[in-house]
Structure 1
């Protein structure tokens, strides 16, 4: 698909949704590098009643989604997120700051499980829950084992490689993800259902053991999110745009 066709699809989506449409499509971790380009795009659009964000992301850092939501809402009264395929982890947190999420048959949200630096391999990002479950496993193994040699075998190699400050940092990241989720829900997605905020925040930050667990449109609606199921032409336009941006990334990788 060429650029003209892609622009035509974006314009048709804006007509169907009566909105201005932004696109964030990336396979790199979502982080603060998005903020300046996003601000430039918002300045071009100017204040407008409604903004839709097409979002494709597998997650990123814990603070960025909150910043993105606040920035977009400086320019609009109504904010919706369109998820053609995947908005996982930190990207799911961003969804909680919208008034509405538009999903289709292939759309997935996921547990809120931000990425942190690997405790040993600093250039690698890993889900914070994975690191924390490792600590939990180690603690349980030490507690249940009566053999000091087993305890030493399990604990010594890991503890020798860990900066003690990291353990506290990981715990803060987990607590921060829940705090951000609760603030975003109380201000936006769940502003009319405050009694559900605590249980949904707990479910999204603690209730799923797989980082990649797929929360489709039906489960998202059961959780209480304001889900609009895209159908007919609306879905066809959204899906065509997803394929167009996926093609761009595929060509860049080749």
Structure 2
């Protein structure tokens, strides 16, 4: 379905929800996936400027995550244009996507809607080297480090400062102390961001509920890939989740499926399949920002080449540029 037809669905969703709708869809097609990142902010700004003083802006969001700092700026930007801000979740809104939801007045989730924990994995120059790829570093999950120390105390029965110090030294022998310092900074950062995003709501939550939400989305879920259903988000985590009407749910899912089809998310991007002759240039789209005011696409541009040296039949792929392009 082309954008002009999708725009009609976006308009109908807006009428049903009584909001101006902007779609931010980061595709997860293998080899050309996109994630939440600060480069989307000028794109969203253009779409927000096209709105006519709305009372409520609803962000239709699909993402597997991304930069944890971007949600803070993104939510602030949207709230510059409207007093009320909602997020529409047709399916996945993990990690940084869940952080965006914390800044919303309402989170509208379909039956397939999923949120995720907000415990980030951090990578820097001091992280352990990947034995299978010496140029790469192994991510260290923030909650894994704190869970190790909790394991030493609660299951190992270690209570004295001396024995706890020894447990920490064992950890520091495996993970560089500066990497551990970076873990602690991110531990504090994600909790601070979650709290500040929750405080942006028009009707702030009581302190006890804020602490419960933050703890639930960090150490209490125990697995970074835990998928939070709308029932769990509402009843256990106590997020401001609402269920859409039957018609709104159908439209949200139709819009989601159309983005999936256009981004060909059900099959990996295989450069060998598009190669014609010895060299083929390509453009492939990895994500969209759409509203009634227009369409922007995140486009990968590159070249696929067949090389016979040093071995025959080798395929090389070079991404020459990538970024947002306004199409309408």
Q: Is the 8 A contact 1:86 1:109 kept in 2?
A: yes
Higher helix fraction (1 or 2): 1
Moved more, 186-195 or 235-244: 186-195
Give structure 1 stretches of 5+ with no counterpart.
Answer: 145-150
Once residues 203 and 232 of structure 2 are traced to their aligned partners in structure 1, the CA distance between those partners, rounded to angstroms, is 16
Equivalent residues in 2 for 1:177-192 (5 A)?
Answer: 177-188=190-201, 191-192=204-205
Q: Is the 8 A contact 1:138 1:155 kept in 2?
A: no
Higher strand fraction (1 or 2): 2
Partner secondary structure for residue 253 of structure 1: coil
Q: What does residue 216 of structure 1 align with? A: 229
Of residues 240, 249, 262, the one that matches 1:248 is 262
Q: Is the 8 A contact 1:127 1:211 kept in 2?
A: no
Once residues 24 and 209 of structure 2 are traced to their aligned partners in structure 1, the CA distance between those partners, rounded to angstroms, is 29
1:125–1:231: structure 2 CA closer, same or farther, 3 Å change rule? farther
Q: Is the 8 A contact 2:53 2:82 kept in 1?
A: yes
Shift of 1:203: 1.4
Once residues 150 and 213 of structure 2 are traced to their aligned partners in structure 1, the CA distance between those partners, rounded to angstroms, is 26
Q: Larger Cα Rg: Structure 1 or Structure 2? A: 2
Q: Is the 8 A contact 2:35 2:66 kept in 1?
A: yes
Q: Does 2:38 match 1:32? A: yes
Once residues 222 and 190 of structure 2 are traced to their aligned partners in structure 1, the CA distance between those partners, rounded to angstroms, is 16
Q: What does residue 94 of structure 1 align with? A: 100
1:240–1:196: structure 2 CA closer, same or farther, 3 Å change rule? same
Q: Is the 8 A contact 2:36 2:63 kept in 1?
A: yes
Once residues 167 and 114 of structure 1 are traced to their aligned partners in structure 2, the CA distance between those partners, rounded to angstroms, is 13
Once residues 91 and 2 of structure 2 are traced to their aligned partners in structure 1, the CA distance between those partners, rounded to angstroms, is 21
Q: Is the 8 A contact 1:111 1:213 kept in 2?
A: yes
The TM-score with structure 1 as length reference comes to: 0.83
Q: Is the 8 A contact 1:60 1:114 kept in 2?
A: no
1:125–1:246: structure 2 CA closer, same or farther, 3 Å change rule? farther
Q: Does 2:60 match 1:54? A: yes
Q: What does residue 23 of structure 2 align with? A: 23
Once residues 244 and 50 of structure 2 are traced to their aligned partners in structure 1, the CA distance between those partners, rounded to angstroms, is 28
Question: What is the CA RMSD across the aligned residues, in angstroms?
Answer: 3.0
Q: What does residue 3 of structure 2 align with? A: 3
Q: Deviations over 1:209-245 (max 9, x none)?
A: 1111111111111122111111311001000000011
Shift of 1:171: 1.1
Of residues 239, 242, 250, the one that matches 2:253 is 239
Partner secondary structure for residue 48 of structure 1: coil
Partner secondary structure for residue 72 of structure 1: helix
Q: Is the 8 A contact 1:190 1:197 kept in 2?
A: no
